[in-house]
A and B are shown apart, each in its own frame.
Chain A
Amino acid sequence: MLMLDPNVRNWVMIPITFAMLLIGVLRHLVAKLMRGSATAKIKSIQAKQLIQRSQYLRAHSGFLSRAAFNQRKEFFCDKEKGAFCQKVDPSLNPQQQMMSDPSMLSDMLTKNLTMVVPQIVTGAWVNFFFSGFVVAKVPFPLTQKFKLMLQRGVDLSSLDVTYISSLSWYFLNLFGMQGLLQLILGEKTFDDTQVMQQQMSMGAGGLDAPNAFKAEKDQLEMMQHNFRVAKFVELAAK
């Protein structure tokens, strides 16, 4: 059993945890501050609501008579005057939107900035001030393969794997603090995995109006109308 100096606990282990917690809170607040100015454009709201109306029509068509349904279908799908066949404003196309609208790009940049920069800064801080400390002992056994990862900066070949360096303690905090932060801040905070997913499908928040219109139009045209109200009397009598 290795004896560790209590000063290491007081001046390395607890400060790292405390700093991580405060930085988590700060990151959340900064992100909230930056997020505030998002206003949707009226055109894209119109397009979204048009699609939603069509979806409602498909979902509840059973309550409409054949004539009423056809009339509404014509409103959406008519070849000349249909709402889905109009020329779509090119700015609703996400690729072009990216080109023409720099605010979207900078928005994404600030999001990434609040995400990545604190992580790099804290990582560098821990690495700079606390490298070479054996900070803690994890209470579960680990295989030798973890040695390189967990004891970075501590080059002692005979040291047991369960003793970890300050950088590993930092990573342990990084992952473990998520739940606690969520508890403290009362809402969903940054989830690292979620942000990564968002980066994968870039611009998924924006609406690809032309394609969405086409898909919705196809679905509406394919749909078989079934007037359910006519059968209600029968059903009630059963």
Chain B
Amino acid sequence: MRIVASKKGDGTIEKELFSPESLKQNGVALTNGRTIIAIAGGMTSGILGLTGLKGGLCYFMYMLLFTAALALKLGWKYQPYFASWNQVCVDGIFASVTTYILFWTLAYNSVHVF
């Protein structure tokens, strides 16, 4: 456990308890979820035959959907599991783009090109 103390505007000191290991594990779970969504979404886009900008926009739609589902599961608050909303919404979005592109291309080629 690590204590992070931060001073608030009115002078009171607020203390938060973090467990770095758990925080890390939650981060890993988050990225894994994003990867799964990227794979499933890539295949969906490919099979539907989306091309160009439509596929790119769909990626962000899938990610938005994932974030919304996650937020619903967390009960619309990040508190006990993540450090901030930023982490829940943004972390790992761009890391899984390459995975999305790979599976998009794979599915698109398998269904539509050959």
Task: Given the known inter-chain contacts A179-B38, A180-B39, A183-B32, please indicate yes or no for A136 contacting B99, CB distance below 8 A.
Answer: no
Q: Is the CB of A140 within 8 A of B55?
A: yes
Bound CA–CA A174/B41 (angstroms): 19
Task: Given the known inter-chain contacts A139-B46, A139-B104, A141-B52, please indicate yes or no for A179 contacting B99, CB distance below 8 A.
Answer: yes
Q: Is the CB of A173 within 8 A of B102?
A: yes
Q: Is the CB of A175 within 8 A of B98?
A: yes
Task: Given the known inter-chain contacts A139-B51, A139-B104, please indicate yes or no for A180 contacting B35, CB distance below 8 A.
Answer: yes
Q: Is the CB of B95 within 8 A of A140?
A: no
Q: Is the CB of A183 within 8 A of B35?
A: yes
Q: Is the CB of A179 within 8 A of B96?
A: yes
What is the chain A residue whose CB lies nearest that of B108? A139
Considering the complex of A and B, which 6 residue pairs feature the smallest CB-CB distances, nearest first? Answer: A176-B102, A179-B99, A179-B35, A175-B98, A139-B51, A139-B108
Min CB distance B61 to A, Å, is 16
Q: Is the CB of A179 within 8 A of B114?
A: no
Task: Given the known inter-chain contacts A9-B109, A9-B110, A138-B105, please indicate yes or no for A178 contacting B99, CB distance below 8 A.
Answer: yes
Min CB distance B99 to A, Å, is 4
Q: Is the CB of A6 within 8 A of B114?
A: yes
Q: Is the CB of B32 within 8 A of A182?
A: yes
Interface check B17, CB cutoff 8 A: no
Q: Is the CB of B109 within 8 A of A13?
A: yes
Q: List 10 A-B contacts (CB under 8 A).
A: A9-B114, A138-B105, A139-B46, A139-B49, A139-B52, A139-B105, A177-B102, A180-B99, A182-B31, A188-B28
We find that the number of chain B residues with CB closer than 8 angstroms to chain A is 32
What is the chain A residue whose CB lies nearest that of B24? A188
Min CB distance A25 to B, Å, is 16
Interface check A225, CB cutoff 8 A: no
Task: Given the known inter-chain contacts A139-B50, A141-B52, please indicate yes or no for A179 contacting B108, CB distance below 8 A.
Answer: no
Interface check A8, CB cutoff 8 A: yes
Min CB distance A131 to B, Å, is 19
Q: Is the CB of A172 within 8 A of B108?
A: no
Q: Is the CB of A176 within 8 A of B99?
A: yes
Interface check B23, CB cutoff 8 A: no
**Which residues on A sit within 8 Å (CB–CB) of B105?**
136, 138-139, 172
Interface check B1, CB cutoff 8 A: no
Q: Mark B86-108, 1 if CB is under 8 A from A, else 0.
A: 00000000011011111111101
Interface check A17, CB cutoff 8 A: yes
Q: Is the CB of A176 within 8 A of B52?
A: no
Q: Is the CB of B38 within 8 A of A17?
A: no
Q: Mark A171-209, 1 if CB is under 8 A from B, else 0.
A: 011011111101100001000000000000000000000
What is the chain A residue whose CB lies nearest that of B34? A179
Q: Is the CB of B32 within 8 A of A176?
A: no
* Cβ-defined partner of B55 (8 Å) among A4, A17, A139: A139
| Chain A residues numbered 208-232 whose CB sits less than 8 Å from any CB in chain B | none
Interface check B36, CB cutoff 8 A: yes
Q: Is the CB of A176 within 8 A of B114?
A: no
Bound CA–CA A175/B52 (angstroms): 20
Interface check A137, CB cutoff 8 A: yes
| Chain B residues numbered 12-55 whose CB sits less than 8 Å from any CB in chain A | 28, 31-32, 35-36, 38-39, 45-46, 49-53, 55
